[in-house]
Structure formats: C-alpha cells, structure tokens
Amino acid sequence: MQWNSNTTFKLSLVTLSLATTSVFANNYAVDGRGNGMGGTGVVTASYLTAPFYNPALGTIYRQNDDVGMILPGVGIGYVNQDGLMDDIENLMDVMDQPIVDPDEVNSALNALSGDQVRTEIGAIAAFAIPNPIVSTNVFTKIYNDTYATPLVPDGSDPIDRAESSAVHAVSVGIFEFGVNFAKYANVLGHHMSFGIAPKFQQIYTYVDSSSLESFEILEMGGEMTSESGLNLDAGALWFYGPLRLGIAGKNLLSKSVDTASYTETIGSETYNVGYRYDLTPVYTVGAGYVDDYMSFSVDYDINSDKRFNAFDDDVKMLRVGAEFDLARQAQIRVGYKTNRLSDEEVYTAGLGISPFGLFHLDAAINYKSMDNLGLYANFLVYY
C-alpha cells in the first residue's frame, strides 16, 4: 500500500460498501447513569454530568452540594452484527486446511463480503462547583469511533481472491476540554436555567488497510490527520416542581475533517480511498418527571447527527429512561433507545450504588445482542 498525502479526496467503491446502522452518536455521554436510562439526560442529568447532556443542568443541585467530581467515567460500544470477525476466522480456517477446497473458500468469501464492524470507546472526567452565582464545571471527554469492512476483489479464482482480500478501516478520535457555566433565572414567574459550555476540541482521523490475517479492530494504526479548534454547547431548562422541559445543542460550530488519502491495488483493481468526517450541531429536546425516588424522561433529537460522508451512519435518536431510587442507597435504571433513521432498537439497564452518600458508583449495559452491546461505568463523589 502506498500512501499519498497529496491525493485529492476521492470516494471509491470501497467506501460505498461501508453502510451501518448504529445507535451511537457524537453527542453520547460516557456515563453509567444516563446510559442505564436509555442515554437520556437533557432534563435528568446531574450538575456533574451536565456538560455531557445539557449545560443548563449545572444549576440543579442540593443545598449541601459544595463540590463534585467524576474520575473516571469509561465506556465501550461494539457492533458486529454481520459477524465480520467470525467470518474472517472461518475463512482463515478454510485456507489453513491441508487441501484447500475452492468451493469452501468461495462460500466463505461470500459470507465475508459486505460485513462490517464498529467500536466506540470513551472516557470522561469532571470537577464541578455548584453555586447560586454561576455554577461551574470543568470537564474533559475523549472518544474514538472506528469502522472496518473487508474488500474482496472480483475474479474467477477463489484462492487468489482470498489471498488478495484486505480490511479497510477508518477511525476518528475527539478530545474535548471545556468549562460549563450555568445560571438560574426567573423568567416571567417561570423557573428557568441556562447554560453554555465553550470547549477546545482536537479531532484525529486514521485510515488503515491490513490483511485479513493481521486485522485487529482495537489495534488500528495507519495514517493520521488532526485538526483543532473551539466549539460550543448550550442548553436551557424549564422546571416546575418535579416536571421538567429542556433543550440542548451540542457542537454548535460545524467542522469537517478530511482523512489521509491513499491508493491501493487489490487484485486487478486500483482504489483511491479517503473519507470526510463532519462534526455538525445536534439539537435535542427532553421532557421528564424527576423527584427524590423516581425519574422518568424522554429525549428526542430534532435533527440528524451526521458523521462520515461515505457511510450510511446518520442517527436521529429517540431515548426513553427511568430510574428508581432505593432509600438513597441504590438505584435501578432501565431504558430504551432507537435510531429513527434505521429503526434499530437497543435496550438498556443500569445499577447505581451510593452507600450513605459517601460515593456513587454507576454501571450500565446497552444490549441488542452479544454482537451489539455497550458497557459503561463511572465513579462520582459529592462533597
């Protein structure tokens, strides 16, 4: 494979083979509580997790809350619904037989063609000082989103096709560091809260091609590009007793980043491969009921979250979640989320432990199948 950093960005047939339905999104939070509740948080997040859902929630705290800290929050999501890794292993087993049967190779290649796999890994940290003047939260988040798909060349000899096949992968990593400011206001007799979260972003992209035998989704290298700049999140909240309505806008300043481009010959075909990653604003409305022992909320994305221009990976999420508190010592959470553009559905569940309020440990699982799941956990302390 020969890298060519001066190649003009082009789409090729290989990029069009990457099409995925997913319930991941750029504005997702690596948060055990929210992910246990279907990914909701526009009206139910705490002042500590406000920057990851709705900056206006920085004003929602208890009178005895002076300082809060998340260190750390971690999460991983995995979508292998086509069985890419299993199909690669099956092809390798067929090719390793003492006598290779071309018909078996052809069958294994047909099963492999069009497969895809996706992973998403993230981590967060936050330090907050809630107060009636301007509640402040210093936060950071890093997440990585990777897609991979095989490219199987045409030809009449299945063994040559198998030996020439490759896996193409593209990855984006985003690092954020910012400060969340939130302020309560009484507007015409209504209880309101407003928040903004200016942040620094560094966006990294990677593209890579490897043989079927050497491919590892979590060990991706390749050519890197990077771009940095400022961005902004903002939000508003209305509340009356336990009832809440909110709206949040994430990544209000649009950005586009081109990956490195390369040319590659596979079989008799030469491909020009490159991608563009778009970071666009996403606006989400939320409604819910929140009291000391029970919470219920619904979040809905007003517009689509667009990402890689070559993939069918846009999402427009509907999220529903509930939390039940057990004497302030433990919390049980359930939820549901669906991508309205693909109707893919995922169910969620979570557990929180908060013994005597000394600390909070939250964990969650998002599940559709063993080939489509996410795991999240975070550790919080309030003083």
Residue 357 Rama label (left phi>0; alpha psi -120 to 50; beta)? left
Which amino acid, 178?
G
User: Cα–Cα distance between 159 and 146 in angstroms, integer?
Assistant: 29
Per-residue pLDDT of the chain (383 residues; tens, 9 = 90+): 333 333 332 333 333 333 344 445 555 678 999 999 999 999 999 999 999 999 999 999 988 889 999 988 999 998 886 788 889 999 999 999 889 998 999 999 999 988 888 888 999 999 999 999 999 999 999 999 888 888 888 878 899 888 888 888 888 999 999 999 999 999 999 999 999 999 999 999 988 888 888 887 666 667 888 899 999 999 999 999 999 999 999 999 999 888 888 777 666 667 777 888 889 999 999 999 999 899 999 999 999 988 777 777 788 999 999 999 999 899 999 999 999 988 789 999 999 999 988 899 999 999 988 888 899 999 999 88
Within 10 Å of residue 127's Cβ, how many Cβ atoms? 15
> CA–CA separation, 219 vs 18, rounded Å?
20
Domains assigned to the chain: 2-382 (2.40.160)
Q: Which two tokens stand for residue 107?
A: 């069958």
Max Cα distance, the chain (Å): 81
Residue 221: what pLDDT?
64
Crossing angle of helices 102-112/84-95, nearest 10°? 170
Q: What is the pLDDT of residue 76?
A: 92
Count of CB atoms situated within 10 Å of the CB of 217: 18
| Among the listed residues 362, 354, 366, 301, the one whose alpha carbon sits nearest the alpha carbon of residue 328 | 354
As to burial, measured by CB atoms within 10 angstroms (0-12 exposed, 13-18 middle, 19+ buried), residue 377 is buried
SS3 of 272-307: the string is EECCEEEECCEEEEEEEEECCCEEEEEEEECCCECC
Residue 212 near residue 92 (C-beta atoms within 8 A): yes
Q: At which residue do the structure tokens 């040559």 appear?
A: 160
Nearest one of 163, 166, 157 to 17, comparing CA atoms = 166
Nearest Cα to Cα of residue 6 among 263, 322, 374, 383: 263
Given this model, what pLDDT does residue 299 score? 98
**Residue 199 burial (CB count, 10 A):** 21
- Residue 355 backbone dihedrals phi, psi, to 5 degrees: -65, 115
pTM of the entire predicted model: 0.88
Burial class from Cβ neighbours inside 10 Å (0-12, 13-18, 19+) for residue 80 reads buried
pLDDT recorded at residue 167? 87
- Compute the half-sphere exposure of residue 346: CA atoms within 13 Å on the CB side of its CA: 34
19 burial type by CB count under 10 A (0-12 exposed, 13-18 middle, 19+ buried): middle
